[in-house]
A = this chain, B = another copy of it.
Amino acid sequence: MAKLKGDVLVAQSGGPTAVINASACGVAQTCLRNKATFGRVLGATNGVLGVLHEELFDLGREGKAALDLMRRSPAAAVGSCRYKLDPQDPRDYERILEVFRAHGVRYFFYIGGNDSMDTADKVDKLARESGYELRVVGVPKTVDNDLACTDHCPGFGSVAKYLAASVMEAGRDTEALYTYDTCTIVESMGRNAGWIAAAGGLAARSPQDAPHLVYVPEIPFDPDRFVQDCKAVLDRHRRLFIVASEGLKTARGEYLSADKGAFGTDAFGHAQLGGVAEVLKALVEERVGVKARFNKPGTCQRSAMHFASRTDVDEAYLCGQDAVRRALEGVTGKMVSLVRKSNRPYRCETGLADLADVANGERPLPRSFMNKAGNHITKRMRDYAIPLIRGEAPVDIGRDGLPVYVRFKRRHLRKRCRPHQVR
């Protein structure tokens, strides 16, 4: 394989996580150490949108300290987006190649979920067709943990650790005051997959611990069963703690609570969720007859770097690092995956998956990770998830007692292409 010299472009996409920056850092630092092959390491401001708008900046010029800090900073320091390219319309893909050519980009590392892998796949194929030598490697990222072809996704371990700890703490709060019957509900993220809600279940080391009940979107929600479940827990413990995914659906596949207003869908046409906690609170108060309150950590959960999983941060970095190593070997059109080699002791290596397979797949929570009643997790879920949440990753703390996170200057390079119309 002839050595391909050229510039590198790294971009982040979709919902932020605690560790998407660790992956970008893994890419950038690995490339910057290999000056014989790589030229500049460019970032695209706000993912593929930054490429379309030709808003690129030189990550190397952000300085060593800023790059180091990126590894310990949540959200997306390079900038992310939710822009979805139209697979029927070649113009956006052609534009990407135009920008790549203009800036000498020969390596494209795209950190994201299945929509991003779809984009990366199409860019890779178009480059081949048009004879432009380009290596495209995807790096997995999603708190939802629902990407196909990988044992787990960077981002999940941290949200899982944070949510489980938060449930444990709010559970102790409820327990401290259980001088009357009460219900606390925590609404977790997870649009279609129950991985995050199931992670909340890890807080229950014993039956008296919170949560007593866990509900995931993969199992249709039945209000009558739910009311029965609640009453049974209250009979036994006099308190009730529930973790429920924002994506709960009825047996007819309808979201338990979908906002029908003007802002009811996001840029992908996905229904904007939220409100599951309110629906469950009303059910508990009206049909179970005890007072209910809810906590909704919302976007705090996916960006909670202050209690991230060391395993997750390290694996996220490793995925970025490994994407570069693979690209150097000539790999293109693939996503780096995580392959669990053993569980005790936990040992995980990287592998490769076809971008197209990731783009078109999804990985719901296996039914065996939930109990028969569909209202709590099983030992299989614990065995799967616990290795992913082990270890702490302390953040830098400023003199004001608060975390210090990176913010890049993002001095955009001079544009070399004509403006492009973005939908």
> Which residues of A line the B interface, CB within 8 A?
12, 15-16, 46, 49, 73-77, 79-83, 161, 164-166, 168-170, 172-177, 179-180, 184, 186, 202-203, 205, 261-263, 267, 272, 274, 278, 285, 291-300, 302-307, 309, 311, 382, 386, 389-392, 394, 397, 399-403, 405
Contacts and interface: CB of A to CB of B under 8 A. Distances in A.
Interface centre among A46, A202, A293 (most CB of B within 10 A): A293
A394 B306 CA distance: 11
Given A173-B302, A296-B298, 14 more contacts: A46-B177, A74-B172, A75-B169, A80-B176, A165-B402, A205-B400, A263-B291, A272-B291, A293-B299, A382-B400, A386-B400, A386-B401, A391-B401, A392-B394
Contact of A285 (B175, B262, B300): B262
Given A296-B294, A402-B203, A307 B306 contact: yes
A291 B166 CA distance: 27
Copy count, this protein chain? 2
A242 B79 CA distance: 21
Contacts of A272: 291, 293
A336 to B, nearest CB: 21
Contacts of A76: 176-177
A405 to B, nearest CB: 6
B173 A82 contact: no
Contacts of A170: 298-300, 303
A291 B262 CA distance: 9
Nearest to A206: B407
B79 A176 contact: yes
A103 to B, nearest CB: 21
Contacts of A16: 172-173, 176-177
Contacts of A309: 401
Nearest to A391: B401
Given A285-B263, A296-B295, A299-B184, A176 B75 contact: yes
A345 to B, nearest CB: 12
Given A202-B400, A285-B263, A297-B297, A172 B46 contact: no
Nearest to A17: B173
A303 B169 contact: yes
B401 A166 contact: no
A300 B299 contact: no
Nearest to A47: B179
8 contacts: A16-B177, A79-B176, A168-B403, A172-B303, A184-B299, A293-B299, A296-B298, A309-B401
Given A82-B179, A172-B73, A274-B293, A389 B403 contact: no
A49 to B, nearest CB: 6
Contacts of A306: 165, 169, 307
B295 A164 contact: no
A404 to B, nearest CB: 9
Interface centre among A16, A165, A399 (most CB of B within 10 A): A165
B82 A177 contact: yes
Given A295-B298, A300-B297, A402 B172 contact: no
Contacts of A74: 169, 172-173
A178 to B, nearest CB: 8
Contacts of A274: 293-294
B299 A295 contact: yes
Interface centre among A49, A184, A263, A302 (most CB of B within 10 A): A263
Interface centre among A77, A184, A262, A297 (most CB of B within 10 A): A297
Contacts of A390: 399-401
A132 to B, nearest CB: 27
Nearest to A163: B300
